[in-house]
Amino acid sequence: MVRLLLVIVLALALAALVIFVLGYNRIRSAEVRVAEALSGIDVELTRRASLIPSLVHTVQTFAVHEKGILDHVTSARAAVTSATSGKSVAQRSAAEKDLDTALVPLLALGQSYPQLNSSNNFLNLQDNLADTENKLAFARQYYNDSVATLNGLLSTIPWMFVAPLTGVAEHEYYQTPR
pLDDT digits (tens, 9 = 90+) for 137-154: 999 999 999 999 999 999
Domain ranges of the chain: 16-166
- Global confidence as pTM: 0.83
User: Is the bond into 177 cis (omega within 30 degrees of 0)?
Assistant: no
How far is residue 153's CA from residue 147's CA, in Å, rounded to a whole number? 10
Question: Which DSSP category does 2 fall into?
Answer: H
pLDDT digits (tens, 9 = 90+) for 153-167: 999 988 888 889 888
pLDDT in tens, 45-62: 999 999 999 888 888 877
What pLDDT, on a 0 to 100 scale, did the predictor assign at position 166? 87
CB burial string 154-173: b at 16+ within 10 A, e below: beeeebeebbeebebeebee
DSSP 171: -
- How far is residue 27 CA from its own chain's centroid? 20
Task: Write down the mean pLDDT value for the chain.
Answer: 89
Of 2, 176, 1, residue with least CA distance to 92:
176
pLDDT at residue 67, rounded to an integer = 80
Q: Say how far apart CA 149 and CA 168 lie, in whole Å.
A: 13
* pLDDT tens, residue by residue, 66-84: 788 888 888 999 999 888 8
Q: CATH for 16-166?
A: 1.20.1440.20
* Proportion of the chain in helix, strand, coil states, percent, rounded to 5: 85, 0, 15
Per-residue pLDDT tens digits for 78-136: 999 888 888 788 888 889 899 989 888 888 887 777 787 778 888 898 899 999 999 99
